[in-house]
Amino acid sequence: MVWNALPTFFRGAAVTLALAVSSVAVGMLLGIPIGIGHVCASRPVRTMLWSFDRVFRGFPAIVLLFLAFFGASGLPGVRIPPFAAVVIALGLRSAAYQGQIYRGALAMVERGQVEAARALGFSMPRTMWHVQLPQAARFSLPSLSNEYSVVLKDTALAFTVGVVDLMSRAKFLAMRSREILAAYLLVAVFYFVLTYAGIGLFRLVERSVAIPGLGRHGTRRIG
């Protein structure tokens, strides 16, 4: 019966992948300015960013998910769909981690290159855009592949708020067929494939943009 359920597992895998990609994208959109802020912003702004990091890196993912779904829905006139709640919670958490990834990547750009750009008349924003960010993007790719794999596995919590993802379908199948071991082994295989397919894609991009002589660098998620 488990093998007959493969089509429904593929539909669940599509939802899981959409959750992971959306959450990482939200984390990237917020994490890049957060990383720049850690490097360039004034002290009060850096303090605010530090507080953001501590909150979203310090809370368990499931607590953030319940706050986004059950907590926000308790406010008058607020109703967040389950899928959106997962993306918000995991996206904000990923932004805190990605902000540190980009902060470390920006710090790896040689100071002499920044000074040379300034000597040529580049403003600080132009220097950041044309000199620092392109190199930081390359340096951050190994860590981003790690971030993708962590976020993908965090999406396994999505079934707790009603998202019909891989874990939700595995739970339903295990209860219906009583083939509990087979159902969860199958879902483990799906997560394994999605994880290493994504990591492989990041490595392909990393090789395509690599600059000879710069080597491979990156900051891993900590905490």
Task: List the Cα angle 174/2/83 in 5-degree steps.
Answer: 60
pLDDT at 175: 84
Top-level class of domain 3-209: mainly alpha
pLDDT at 220: 53
pLDDT at 213: 60
Tracing tokens 């008058």 back to the chain, one arrives at 76
Phi, psi dihedral angles at 89 (to 5 degrees) = -65, -50
Q: Are 161 and 82 in contact (CB under 8 A)?
A: yes
Domain definitions of the chain by residue range: 3-209
Tokens standing for residue 216: 């491979």
Residues 118-131: tens digit of each pLDDT: 888 888 888 888 88
Q: What is the pTM of this model?
A: 0.88
Q: Which residues of the chain have pLDDT under 50?
A: 215-218, 222
Question: What's the full length of the chain, in residues?
Answer: 223
pLDDT at 96: 96
